[in-house]
Amino acid sequence: MVKKIKTSNVLFLCFFMFISLDIISPSKLKENTILRKFMSTQVTNSTILSDSILINYFADGQCSDTNCKAPFGTCSTSNQCKCSQGWIQSPFRNVSTAENSCDYQLKKQVWFFSLEFLSWIGIGHMYASRFLYGIIKCSVMFLILFMDFVIIYDKTRAPKCLNYFIHFIYFSFFVWHTYDLVMIGTNLYLDGNGMPISNWQS
């Protein structure tokens, strides 16, 4: 009984830890990009979605037919590349040396939501390159199932309080999963590289 309660404490710790990580995790966008400035001045990404706006991102740097070409983007000025829908400036490469200014393909919100809604075990997070979060969620789900069907294999002999406890664990995981779906549905999650998710209309 004591061991099972200690296991549950680990589950709750993981749950709250990863919620707080998602809220406070910083973006990895370059400081000098228009996207970073835009995200710094706007309230939230949900404000953009509520206005049903298709978002285009811009990459700073010398723009030419060589480093700003279809299907990745088009030059809006000589020093700015307007990225095509679903593309953005990579946070890891220098625009002046990159082959394409808009060289990072965004993950799609519709796939992120669908995979997470159907799988329940973090497949959507893995699609969005949020591998650690996805692996932890998958591990927690299988740990709960292990506790339910292996450790407490004979529920007729198990104390009622222990059965209630397992039901409470299932409910807590359901709340966690619902939280995930709300965050994905309102596009408030970033992908594993700190980049935004391409919204429903993209």
Q: What is the pLDDT of residues 81-129, one digit of tens each?
A: 889 888 988 877 654 556 778 888 999 999 999 999 998 899 999 999 9
Q: Are 89 and 30 in contact (CB under 8 A)?
A: yes
Q: Are residues 132 and 154 in the same domain?
A: yes
Do 114 and 176 reside in the same domain of the chain? yes
Mean pLDDT of the chain: 74
DSSP secondary-structure letter at 108? Answer: B
Q: How many domains does the chain have?
A: 2
Do 98 and 159 sit in the same domain of this protein?
A: no
Question: Is the pLDDT higher at 165 or at 25?
Answer: 165
181 and 114 assigned to the same domain = yes
pLDDT at residue 160 in the model: 73
Dist. CA 119–CA 158, nearest whole Å: 30
Report the C-alpha gap between 75 and 68 in whole angstroms: 6
Q: What is the pTM of this model?
A: 0.68
